[in-house]
Amino acid sequence: MARPRGFCEEEALDKALDLFWRHGYEGASIAALTEAMGINRPSLYATFGNKEELFKKALDRYVSIKDAIFDEGLAEPTGRDVVRHLLRKAAEMMTEPGHPVGCLAVQGAISCSDESEPVRQELIRIRQHHEQRIRDRFAEEQDAGRLPPGTNPDDLAMLLATIANGMSIQASTGATRAQLLTVAENAARAWPQVDDVASDAAASNAAE
């Protein structure tokens, strides 16, 4: 019973996600956001609250995309297949033409000023959520007897997350899709799995 909104909220969120992804949280200014979203400042604040809330709402869309990829990847039959699937998908997603490069949860979490600390914490939380999913999947691998003796599924999950994070950095600094796919394939081939590891145990005890 009042003036209707002159823009689509979801479309505007997608534009905001693109800009945040491309420039990080602080790098995307309100001026740039409103221009990309095709709306005015007051409309943005009336609809989304403030910059931080807008970011979180855009982030929700990003997480749902990534969760869908994890659903596929974690369903692969063995740990090595999971690694290959997830890293290949990551390589493709991070170099999608017309899309921002790298992973929003990595690029956006690099601290610039302190003011964006809550956003950084949120991104860390997101990444830990995904790492937890990998941990659970690798625990299944261990139960299935496919982990070499002494290999810790949590350690492998962290290694995989580390490689994925590194790929995001590589992508944001010019790595091509072909290069990232090669990284993914080499990581998958070297992945420890019981059918190709001979001796070597207790890598997990190396930390002091």
Partner DNA sequence: TACATTATATACTGATCGGTACATAACTAG
Partner DNA sequence: CTAGTTATGTACCGATCAGTATATAATGTA
Candidates 9-17, 43-51, 53-61, 147-155: pick the segment binding a copy of itself (CB under 8 A): 147-155
Nearer to DNA, 54 or 106 (CB): 54
Nearer to a copy of itself, 47 or 154 (CB): 154
Binding-site string for a copy of itself from residue 153 to residue 172, where x marks contact by CB under 8 A and - marks none: --xx-xx-xxxxxxxxxx-x
31 contacts a copy of itself (rule: CB under 8 A): no
Query: Over the chain, what HEC string results?
Result: CCCCCCCCHHHHHHHHHHHHHHHHHHHCCHHHHHHHHCCCHHHHHHHHCCHHHHHHHHHHHHHHHHHHHHHHHCCCCCHHHHHHHHHHHHHHHHCCCCCCCCCHHHHCCCCCCHHHHHHHHHHHHHHHHHHHHHHHHHHHHHHCCCCCCCCCHHHHHHHHHHHHHHHHHHHHCCCCHHHHHHHHHHHHHHCCCCCCCCCCCCHHHHCC
43 contacts DNA (rule: CB under 7 A): yes
Binding-site string for DNA from residue 94 to residue 133, where x marks contact by CB under 7 A and - marks none: -------------------x--------------------
Q: Which of 14, 36, 47, 56 binds DNA (CB under 7 A)?
A: 47
173 contacts a copy of itself (rule: CB under 8 A): yes
Nearer to DNA, 23 or 133 (CB): 23
Query: How far, in Å, CA of 29 to CA of 12, rounded?
Result: 15
What are the residues binding a copy of itself (CB under 8 A)? 23-24, 26-27, 29, 106-107, 109-114, 120, 124, 127, 151-152, 155-156, 158-159, 161-170, 172-175, 177-179, 181-187, 189-192, 196, 198, 200, 203-204, 206-208
